[in-house]
Structure 1
Amino acid sequence: MNEVQMKCETTIGTIFISATSDYITRIFWTKAPVSFVSLDSRTKEAILIKKAKKQIDEYLAGKRKEFDLPIFYEGTTFQKEVWRELCNIPYGKTINYSELAIKVKRPKAVRAVGSANGKNPLSIVVPCHRVIGKSGELSGYAGGVKIKEALLKLEGLK
């Protein structure tokens, strides 16, 4: 699958958005292992990346609560189960890793769920930031705990 990546500035930090001609495939806070390509602004990939960036900007401005993007993620069957479940956590709500493990029908796999959550390739759009520690602490986030805290604050939490 050929994908391209663009660096995008947001109000809370730099993200990198990757796309194929059909899907948004990655949204990372740090450089993802994909080559930068100079895109004609009319290519399908550039159009999708611009659409994703626009929706992320709307979310960060408090004007969007859900994303409407064609997404595709590669991972194990288990990781995909976890990532699908992340999409079911409503805006403005959090769950803890134990609750997420129960939702994917693996109540004893809390650490594996945490690992899958940490490998989420579509930050913000697949809302892994809505998963917190059992005692309410903000545990790891690919963009850093300060960004996780900012995203939760944006959603009326923390």
Structure 2
Amino acid sequence: MTAPRLPALVAQARAETPLGPIVLAATSHGLAGLWFDGQAHHPGPLAAPEDATQPFIAQALAELGAYWRDGRTRFRTPIDAHGTPFQQRVWHALRGIAPGRTTTYGTLAAALGHPSAARAVAAAVGRNPLAIVVPCHRVVGRDGALTGYAGGLGRKRTLLALEAAAEAA
């Protein structure tokens, strides 16, 4: 499966996080990407000017700062992630998983009306272009095992632990 073409980007920015550097990208309609360096499906160099003050990027950076302080943060930054209609449905469903909670690929597939499509859901989850903001890290294997994460299982483990600690507090 090939990655969808990126939309016309108006800005990008690099930022440091506790889990390593990230790149954020925005269109005129919302945040289009947030990738860790070295992440699977990273689009590579982006054709957009560096501008951390672009409104969608600035909002996402502020919300990320709050997230690192308190893993209960829900992201409100408008998003403009481009993918297939099925990927869009999966990514929308991911945004409904509350911080500190997890679900399985099968449960997500059933909620989308495709109970036998767990593998297709997993593929769409893996192509999520908005790490953390669209919380694909909250999806686990049917036995609760930490499976695939484009940013690496160590990051997935850390994100889930941050959220669990915030929920317990």
Aligned to 2:146: 138
For these two proteins, the number of residue pairs brought into alignment is 153
Q: Is 1:28 matched up with 2:14?
A: no
- The alpha-carbon deviation at position 125 of structure 1 amounts to 0.8
SS at match of 1:28: strand
Aligned to 1:2: 8
Letter in 1 for 2:142: K
| Superimposed CA distance per residue, residues 25-80 of structure 1 (whole angstroms, 9 cap, x where no aligned partner) | 111113533235243x65xxx23212211111210111652111111111111111
Q: Structure 1 residues 77 and 21, CA, compared in 2 at 3 Å: closer, same or farther?
A: closer
Gaps of 5+ in 1: none
SS at match of 1:7: strand
Letter in 1 for 2:43: A
Q: Structure 1 residues 38 and 26, CA, compared in 2 at 3 Å: closer, same or farther?
A: closer
Q: Is the 8 A contact 1:132 1:139 kept in 2?
A: yes
Write the distance in 2 (CA, Å) between the matches of 1:94 and 1:148.
12
Write the distance in 1 (CA, Å) between the matches of 2:97 and 2:55.
28
Off by >4 Å, runs of 4+ in structure 1: none
Q: Is the 8 A contact 2:128 2:134 kept in 1?
A: yes
Please give the TM-score of this superposition, normalised by the length of structure 2: 0.83
Q: Which moved more, 1:108-117 or 1:14-23?
A: 14-23
Aligned to 1:83: 91
Please provide the CA RMSD for this pair. Answer: 1.7
- The alpha-carbon deviation at position 2 of structure 1 amounts to 2.5
Q: Structure 1 residues 109 and 29, CA, compared in 2 at 3 Å: closer, same or farther?
A: same
